[in-house]
Amino acid sequence: MDKFIPTKIALIALLAACFVILVSMGLRQTFGLFFSAFEQGLNITRTEFGLAIGIQMLFWGMFAPLFGVIADKFGGNKAVFIGFVIFGLGIYMLYSGPNTGIFFQLSLGVLVGTALGATAMSVPVSEVGKHFPNESRSMATGIVTAAASIGYFLSPLFTKYSLGAVGWENTLKYFMYFILFGLVASIFILPRRENSQAFKVDKKQTFSAALREAFSHKGYLLLNAGFFVCGFQITMVATHIPGYMQDKGLGGWSATIILALIGFFNIVGTLGIGYLGTKYSKKLLLSILYFSRAVVICIFIFLPPSIYTAIFFGITFGMLWLSTVPPTNGIVAQIFGTKYLSTLFGIVFLSHQFGAFAGAFLGGYFYDVFGSYDYAWYIAIALSIFATLIHLPIDEKPIVRAEQTI
């Protein structure tokens, strides 16, 4: 353990980031369960709901690199704290009003999406990654990502029960207590001390030089393209699996079971990939993950729908859900170093959210136009094959910088 945890500050940051991710990603996972309530209470259509989630994903992505800049310059704790304040404002507006029409898009889409840019995934994971060397970084970020899985597992169960017991407005009020918990935890995502050994390599590199270096590297561009695919797939599932299961005659708790199983088995997947990332090529692991997603989706949509296929999908897709995060973040850190990791991974995450916008919006659009989610599933399969291939040529070796350019 002493070898794995380099400092006490690293341990504190790791635990705090786990709590932050548990709250933010856990709440994010539940929004698909609110569709029926929003449809009945606010007259929201599937296209409008998909658009709101798409906007949320887009703003999440746009603000991830901006909050990454704040984290790299002033500390991750400050960036995440601001994010939770905005998160609370968005949820408050969603249940207290105005919350229809453009205000629905503003609260669930713009404000919650902006908040997720700071609180969910890119900033907490990258800030933890700064505390750990290459040999153990993917394992550390895998632990943080696994914390999101705990939120994924518990939040749908709580939300489904609460929606039935007290209604959607009161359920959102309960969310405010979780946000307050995350706000407190964010304070303890402490920055790494600048005299640590890993910081010496790139401490003189400027921000603009780091961006030029990243965008001139083919591997960085391919990681951006691959993470677009990840965003499309997981957001389409998280947003539209309740509607899909209902259309297949498996409403009620079936979608909740899938989301809960995804959350639980994502713990296994992220920890497993985090460990494997310390032993094997991260780009190869990513190719295997994306190909596996294509196989799982094909089995799920082409076999007759049943509770058994739902359980199969929840377990297998859960193991693949956020498993892409540790190796993707790990490759960015391995190639470019950690000084601007929150910013550089934030940009990769922006590509993820462009895909997320497409997955959320197109899923609802295809259903409203064609009466089926089939075309969205077909796109998800094709994108998996694309992502499988583009990760293979990535050069994972660290960049060797000339002294005068550092």
Model pLDDT for residues 272-305, shown as the tens digit of each residue: 988 898 888 999 999 999 999 999 999 999 999 8
Q: What percent of the chain has pLDDT over 90?
A: 42
304: its two tokens: 């007759």
Place of tokens 């060797």: 400
Asked if residue 162 lies in contact with residue 174, where contact means CB atoms within 8 angstroms, the answer is: yes
* Domain-located, residue 200: no
In this structure, what DSSP letter does residue 4 have? T
Predicted confidence (pLDDT) per residue in 222-277, tens digit: 999 999 999 999 888 888 888 888 888 876 677 778 888 887 898 889 889 888 98
* Domain-located, residue 96: yes
* Domain-located, residue 324: yes
Q: Which of 227, 291, 238 is nearest to 266 (CA)?
A: 238
Q: Is 194 a residue whose pLDDT tops 80?
A: no
* Domain-located, residue 2: no
pTM over 0.85: no
- Return the half-sphere exposure (C-beta side, CA atoms, 13 A cut-off) of residue 205: 25
What's residue 251's pLDDT?
67
> What count of residues does the chain have?
406
What's residue 199's pLDDT?
46
What's residue 36's pLDDT?
84
What average pLDDT does the chain have?
87
* Domain-located, residue 400: no
* Domain-located, residue 401: no
Q: Which of 192, 227, 189, 212 is nearest to 336 (CA)?
A: 212
Q: Count Cβ atoms below 10 Å from residue 297 Cβ, excluding itself.
A: 22
* Domain-located, residue 193: no
* Domain-located, residue 204: no
- Stronger pLDDT, 192 or 324, i.e. the higher one: 324
Q: Which of 197, 201, 135 is nearest to 7 (CA)?
A: 197
* Amino acid occupying residue 331: I
Burial class (CB in 10 A: 0-12, 13-18, 19+), 304: exposed
Confidence of residue 109 (pLDDT cuts 50, 70, 90): very high
Q: Is 347 a residue whose pLDDT tops 60?
A: yes
Number of domains in the chain: 1
CATH of the domain at 260: 1.20.1250.20
Domain that residue 291 falls in: 10-188+209-392
What's residue 84's pLDDT?
96
Hey, is 16 helix, strand or coil?
Answer: helix
d(CA 245, CA 368): 16
